[in-house]
Copies of this chain bind each other. A is one copy, B any other.
Amino acid sequence: MTTHSPNFETSEYKARIARTRAAMAGRGLDLLVVSDPSNMAWLTGYDGWSFYVHQAVILPLEDAPVWWGRGMDAAGAARTVFMAGTDSIRSYADRYVQNPDQHPMEDLARVIADLGGRRIGVELDNYYYSAKAHDVLSGRVEAYLEDATGLVNWQRIVKSPREIAYIRQAARIVEQMHRAMLEQAEPGMPKHHLIAEIYRTGIRGVEGAWGDYPAIVPMAPSGMDATAPHLTWDDQPLRAGEPTFFELAGVHRRYHAPQSRTLFFGEPPAQYRRAEEAVLEATRAAMEVLRPGKLCEDVAAAFNGTLARFGFSKDSRCGYPIGLSYPPDWGERTASFRAGDTTVIAAGMVFHFMPALWLDDGGIEITEPVLVTEKGAEFLTGTPRGLFVK
C-alpha cells in the first residue's frame, strides 16, 4: 500500500524494531506507545504534519506495529508506513479532535485492550504526550504505564549507512544555504528578504537532494538580539558594525544537518576575533576527543578547558545528536556534551557540535554537523570555518 518511494528498505525498519524490542524486553515492557513523531517515523516510515492531534505507533513485543491516529490521517499512514494490512492502521473519529468532552486516548485504550499488554511504556516527557493524554489513558487501561521517554531515541543514536547518506545530503544543502546567505546579504537589506532567499535555497536543495522543512526555523538575530539564542526574524535591516548569526539546517527526507555561521560587514571588533580564535581552538580540542570509546563529558571537558584558557566560558551544553526530526526540535534528546554525561561515543553517531557563545553585546555561533567514524570526527560540510566577513 506504500506508494511513496520509501525512505528505507523494509528490512531496515525491521532491524530498528528488533533493536527497540530488545530494549523493551530489557525493561520488562510488553507494549510501547510511541508518541514522538520522529520515533514514529523511524519505526514505521510514517510521515505527515498530523502531530498537532494525538497519534501514536503502538509496538508489541511480537506482532507488527500499529499506526494509530485521526481518521483523516489514516490515508497518509497507508501511503507512508512499511506495514501492509489494514490491521496495521487504526484511527479514531473526528469528534475526538480538540474536544474537551471526548479524548482520543479513550479510543487508544480500546486499541490497547485489543493488543494486550500488562506493562506498557509511554513517552512521558514528550511534546506529543500531554498530561491529559496520560490521565485519560492510565484511567482506562488495565495495565501499568511506565515512563519510557527516550527508549526509542536511544536506539536512533548510531546511524545506518543510509541515514548517514541522507545526513550527508542535508549537509550539502546547509552548505549551499550559507553560501547563498553570504552572497546575498548586504547592509540595509531587510532581514526577512534574506531569510526568504535562505528558505528558497534550503527547499530547492542541491542536485540529487530535495530540501525538506526544518524542525526549527532559521535563527538570524543581529546585534543585541544575538545575545538571545532563539529570537526569529523581522523586517529590520542588516547593519554594518553588528554581528548576525545564522543558525540554519539543511534537511533531506527529514534528516537534518544544522550549522551556524556569524556574519559581519567590515572588520569585526577585536573581542569577536578573540572569541573566534577561542571557539575554533576549543572546537579543534573537542574534535580530537570526539572518537569512539570516549565519553560525551570528555568532549565537553576538552572544549570548556580550552575555552577557559582564552578567558571565555559557556555554561550550556556544547552539542547533541542529530538525525531524523520533526518540530519543535532537531536534536534527538539523548546525549549531551556536558559534565556528567557518560555516554560512550561510537562510530556512526552524528552530532551538532554547538560551541555558541552569547556575549554581552551580541553572539558568535560557528557550529558544525559532525560524523563520528572509526578514525575520529569528520566535519560534514566544507563551509569555511570562522567568522564570515563581507
Chain A residues near B (Cβ < 8 Å): 3-4, 47-52, 71-73, 75-76, 78-80, 93-95, 97-100, 103, 122, 124-135, 147, 149-150, 190, 192-193, 195-197, 199-205, 210-213, 216-217, 219, 224-225, 227-235, 315-317, 320, 327-329, 331, 333, 336, 338, 340, 358
Contacts and interface: CB of A to CB of B under 8 A. Distances in A.
Nearest to A199: B199
Which secondary structure characterizes the binding site on chain A?
A: loop
A116 to B, nearest CB: 22
A98 B228 contact: no
8 tightest A-B CB contacts, nearest first? A76-B228, A125-B132, A131-B134, A52-B329, A210-B235, A75-B228, A196-B203, A94-B316
A94 B315 contact: yes
A211 B196 contact: yes
Contacts of A122: 131
Given A71-B316, A72-B228, A72-B316, 4 more contacts: A49-B328, A80-B231, A103-B125, A210-B234
Contacts of A79: 224-225, 228, 231
A204 B190 CA distance: 9
A204 B217 contact: no
A315 B203 contact: no
Contact of A124 (B129, B135, B150, B225): B135
A103 B147 CA distance: 14
A72 B359 CA distance: 11
B94 A317 contact: yes
B71 A315 contact: yes
Nearest to A73: B230
A97 B217 CA distance: 20
B131 A229 contact: no
15 contacts: A49-B217, A49-B230, A49-B232, A49-B328, A52-B328, A72-B316, A73-B229, A75-B228, A75-B358, A125-B131, A126-B130, A131-B134, A199-B203, A212-B233, A328-B328
A48 B317 CA distance: 19
B358 A100 contact: no
A211 to B, nearest CB: 6
